[in-house]
């Protein structure tokens, strides 16, 4: 059993390593020209910003985790899937992958997780649908974090908040290995966000957003949500609401406009929020953090503290709040300032 001291160590080590590796990754990206250039209307940075932040995050996560954990089949599957999506995203950061090739690479990572036992195990779900639904969940959350990475500090900070919420959930169910996984990821992301908060000196890149997304999705599948409450299986929807809602939002708007969901456009709700706040990136990012934190608290309450009916009312209240926010932001024109 992993003790509190070890869990504290893994978080602290990941935080320090994330803060150490991130400037090194920045230097490497600048040396080899791996940068995001302001070459289209959707990019507002004054000068090219280096990628490779995701590599720094993953290295910090992996090293910190390896100091405290003996890896079983499930955890090896999570690490393998994270590595595969990191490589797919890294290639995509060079701009040489088509959307189909990128999805195929993610599919290989999802297959590794399914082989490792990442399957929906709800009794209410027919056995024949558990693997397909698990695959859909893993792909959905993975790409949701990829799409969310549109503003300084956003995906990294929201990912760290979600990882901490999942760590608390895993602690409630006594799954201490998953607690360590989540704390390692949260610490690594926190170390990275020091350099990614506006004005960003380095970006997470597809390598980082895809690997963070699939790790969080896999952990959410492995936690025994319904051990403490019948409504627990809905908790991940609240904990990961910010990326999931943003993906649904932009997909709907792009479908109405006749564009594919991967088409780049400024209709993400955090970008509309930034416009509402007069272009203040820090305030917009902070509001998104608050929304993510509220979702984490709602998810944990649904899982551990409340009876079924109260939990559903709490989730409904959170959904109403999100819908009100999106309705308010829908009036913001798509054109960026």
Q: What pLDDT shows up at residue 282? A: 96
Predicted pLDDT at 58 = 97
| Cα Dmax for the chain | 57
Whole-Å CA distances, 309 to 36, 165, 173, 211, 315: 48, 22, 21, 35, 10
Predicted model pTM: 0.93
The domain limits of the chain are 4-329
Whole-number pLDDT of residue 201: 93
Cα(57)–Cα(187) distance, rounded to whole angstroms? 9
User: Measured between alpha carbons, how far is residue 225 from residues 36, 139, 169, 221, 228 in Å?
Assistant: 39, 20, 8, 9, 7
**C-alpha gyration radius of the chain:** 19
What is the pLDDT, as a whole number, of residue 227?
A: 82
Q: Quick one: pLDDT at residue 337?
A: 40
The distance from CA 219 to its chain's CA centroid, rounded to whole angstroms, is 11
Q: How far apart are CA 89 and CA 207, in angstroms?
A: 4
Average pLDDT of adjacent 10-residue blocks, the chain of 337 residues: 85 97 94 75 68 95 87 82 93 82 91 79 67 91 94 96 97 93 97 95 94 96 86 91 94 78 77 92 97 96 80 91 92 62
């Amino acid at each position: 059993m992993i003790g509190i001291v070890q869990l504290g160590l893994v978080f602290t080590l990941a935080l320090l390593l994330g803060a150490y590796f991130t400037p090194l990754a920045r230097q490497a990206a600048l040396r080899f020209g791996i940068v995001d250039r302001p070459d289209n209307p959707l990019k507002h940075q004054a000068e090219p910003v280096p990628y490779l932040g995701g590599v720094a995050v993953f290295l910090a996560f992996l090293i910190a985790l390896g100091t405290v954990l003996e890896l079983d089949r499930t955890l090896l599957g999570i690490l393998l899937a994270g590595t595969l999506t990191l490589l797919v995203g890294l290639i995509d950061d060079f701009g040489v992958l088509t959307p189909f090739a990128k999805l195929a690479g993610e599919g290989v990572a999802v297959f590794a997780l399914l082989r490792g036992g990442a399957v929906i195990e709800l009794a209410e779900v027919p056995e024949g649908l558990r693997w397909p639904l698990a695959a859909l969940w893993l792909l959905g959350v993975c790409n949701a974090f990829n799409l969310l990475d549109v503003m300084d500090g956003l995906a990294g900070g929201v990912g760290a908040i979600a990882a901490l919420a999942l760590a608390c959930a895993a602690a409630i169910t006594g799954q201490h290995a998953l607690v360590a996984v989540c704390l390692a990821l949260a610490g690594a992301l926190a170390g990275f966000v020091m350099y990614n908060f506006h004005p960003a000196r380095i970006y997470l890149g597809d390598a980082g957003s895809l690997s963070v997304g699939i790790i969080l999705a896999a952990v959410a599948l492995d936690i025994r949500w319904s051990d403490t409450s019948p409504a627990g299986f809905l908790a991940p929807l609240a904990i990961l609401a910010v990326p999931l809602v943003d993906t649904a939002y932009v997909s709907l708007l792009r479908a109405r406009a006749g564009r594919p969901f991967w088409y780049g456009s400024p209709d993400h709700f955090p970008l509309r929020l930034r416009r509402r706040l007069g272009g203040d990136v820090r305030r917009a990012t902070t509001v998104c953090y608050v929304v993510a934190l509220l979702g984490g608290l709602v998810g944990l309450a649904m899982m551990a503290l409340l009876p079924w009916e109260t939990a559903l009312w709490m989730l409904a209240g959170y959904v109403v709040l999100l819908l009100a926010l999106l309705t308010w932001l829908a009036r913001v024109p798509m054109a960026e300032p």
